[in-house]
């Protein structure tokens, strides 16, 4: 299959710094290539990939110091549109800008929704361009969306199985908190879980500028307890030990997390997840198998003792059957095949009187397109 992956240009693929979306795009791209597909990655020029790289900007826009990213994405989309006939499928990982430009090509498009969808600012596009084929990263993520959205599938994120290797023993015996220090991630709950259960907590997290007040006023005063250790930011390599040696990952979130990569990173290491039931959590955690679902702090404190008896091999097995990059890409390929299949069905239907010089033209003109919509009736 000839597949275009269209990535955000803010960071390289994979990202040199932060960028959950760019990491997932990289995993999808590399796995598609491994499975023998002909993949072109539209991304920043400092991306590293075994696919063909279509460099749309010399470096990630954040490195270039660009504050407004719209123009670069519009120029990338123009390049994608010009080359669209080279591909069977165009897979978008950018937020919004592709909706109007590709209205004439929705039959070969799919957009993965990487963020939360309950932001009213974005609704005008979701309500206006309902034809775009969409993939959600959890069922829960779809809830705020218009009922006539063109959902193709929910595809949970997957992780290359070697990224966070399996640790058969929780040598550290601590609770791990990994992510940003922000109110909706509830590091305060993680600290309470440690103190009230008497189990050590290690916090590996960065403090964004936007969250400085929350850190100063709420979290910093809490981290001086002898059971709490704040170790700051860690890199991908340090993450392996940090997660692998933990008794459990504390994931006491207080917001509708669309997916939550860190949960499957922990599960990949064999580390169970103690998570509050919110957003994607009940879809990702098999309660009692790969972690414990909690509704209250009492649940969470009880869970700290419960996970001690949980099989780390069982956690890893749950990861392997559902959350590897291979699992994820199989589902994406099924979506791509379905798009192509739908297309063939339409082709087979005769269109009386239409001059159909070639496949692409038929597809183009058989659908409502931007230009057709603008013609006088």
Site residues (CB under 8 A) for a copy of itself?
57, 61, 64, 66-72, 74-75, 77-78, 81-82, 84-85, 96-97, 99-101, 104-105, 119-129, 358-361, 364, 369-371, 373-377
Q: Which residues of 105-123 are buried (b: 16+ CB within 10 A; e: fewer)?
A: bbbbbbbbbbeebeeeebe
CB of 238 to a copy of itself, least distance (A): 34
Confirm if 215 and 181 have CB atoms less than 8 A apart: yes
Of 92 and 129, CB closest to a copy of itself: 129
**What are the phi and psi torsion angles at 368 (to 5°)?**
-60, 125
CB of 348 to a copy of itself, least distance (A): 19
Q: List, as own/partner pairs, every contact residues 294-297 make where C-beta atoms lie below 8 angstroms and the sequence separation is at least 24, other chains included.
A: 294/252, 297/189, 297/192, 297/193, 297/196
- Strands in 228-230's sheet, in edge-to-edge order, are 228-230, 201-206, 174-180, 246-251, 273-276, 291-294
Q: Kindly list the distances between the CA atom of residue 200 and the CA atoms of 175, 227, 308, in Å, as whole numbers in the listed order.
A: 6, 5, 13
Of 349 and 375, CB closest to a copy of itself: 375
Of 17 and 359, CB closest to a copy of itself: 359
CB of 97 to a copy of itself, least distance (A): 7
CB of 81 to a copy of itself, least distance (A): 5
Give the bridge partners for 159, in sequence order: 324
What is the spatial distance between Cα 308 and Cα 105, in angstroms, rounded to a whole number? 52
CB of 344 to a copy of itself, least distance (A): 17
What is the spatial distance between Cα 308 and Cα 272, in angstroms, rounded to a whole number? 9
CB of 155 to a copy of itself, least distance (A): 24
The set of residues, in sequence order, having a beta carbon less than 8 Å from that of 114 and lying 6+ positions away, is 20, 21, 24, 93, 95, 137, 258
What is the spatial distance between Cα 299 and Cα 42, in angstroms, rounded to a whole number? 45
Of 72 and 290, CB closest to a copy of itself: 72
Of 4 and 28, CB closest to a copy of itself: 4
Of 43 and 193, CB closest to a copy of itself: 43
CB of 259 to a copy of itself, least distance (A): 21
Of 213 and 298, CB closest to a copy of itself: 213
Of 97 and 218, CB closest to a copy of itself: 97
CB of 52 to a copy of itself, least distance (A): 18
Of 288 and 360, CB closest to a copy of itself: 360
Q: Which residues of 147-177 are buried (b: 16+ CB within 10 A; e: fewer)?
A: eebeebebbbbbbebebbebbeebebebbbb
CB of 150 to a copy of itself, least distance (A): 16
């Amino acid at each position: 299959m000839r597949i275009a992956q269209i990535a955000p240009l803010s960071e390289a693929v994979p990202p040199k710094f932060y960028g959950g979306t760019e990491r997932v795009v990289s995993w999808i791209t590399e796995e598609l290539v491994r499975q023998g597909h002909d993949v072109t990655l539209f991304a920043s020029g400092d991306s590293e990939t075994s696919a063909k790289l279509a460099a749309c900007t010399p470096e990630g826009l954040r490195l270039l110091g660009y504050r407004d990213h719209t123009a670069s994405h519009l120029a990338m989309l123009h390049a994608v549109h010009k080359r669209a006939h080279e591909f069977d499928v165009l897979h978008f990982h950018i937020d919004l800008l592709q909706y109007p430009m590709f209205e004439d090509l929705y039959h070969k498009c799919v957009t993965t929704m990487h963020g939360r969808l309950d932001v009213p600012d974005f609704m005008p596009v979701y309500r206006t361009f309902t034809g775009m084929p969409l993939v959600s990263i959890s069922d829960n993520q779809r809830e705020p969306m218009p009922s006539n959205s063109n959902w193709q599938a929910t595809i949970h994120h997957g992780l290359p199985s070697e990224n966070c290797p399996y640790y058969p023993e929780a040598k550290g015996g601590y609770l791990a908190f990994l992510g940003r220090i922000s109110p909706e991630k509830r590091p305060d709950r993680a600290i309470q879980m440690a103190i009230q259960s008497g189990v050590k907590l290690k916090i590996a997290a960065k403090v964004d500028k936007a969250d400085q007040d929350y850190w100063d006023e709420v979290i910093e005063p809490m981290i001086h307890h002898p059971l709490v250790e704040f170790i700051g930011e860690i890199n991908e390599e340090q993450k392996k030990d940090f997660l692998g040696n933990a008794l459990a990952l504390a994931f006491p979130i207080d917001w509708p997390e669309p997916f939550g990569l860190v949960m499957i990173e922990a599960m990949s290491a064999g580390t169970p997840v103690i998570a509050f039931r919110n957003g994607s959590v009940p879809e990702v955690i098999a309660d009692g198998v790969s972690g414990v679902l909690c509704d209250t702090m009492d649940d969470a404190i009880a869970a700290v003792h419960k996970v001690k008896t949980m099989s780390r091999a069982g956690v890893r097995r749950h990861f392997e059957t559902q959350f590897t990059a291979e699992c994820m890409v199989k589902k994406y390929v099924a979506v791509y095949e379905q798009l192509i299949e739908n297309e063939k069905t339409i082709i087979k239907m005769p269109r009386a009187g239409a001059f159909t010089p070639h496949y692409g033209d038929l597809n183009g003109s058989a659908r409502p397109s931007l230009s057709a919509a603008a013609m006088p009736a």
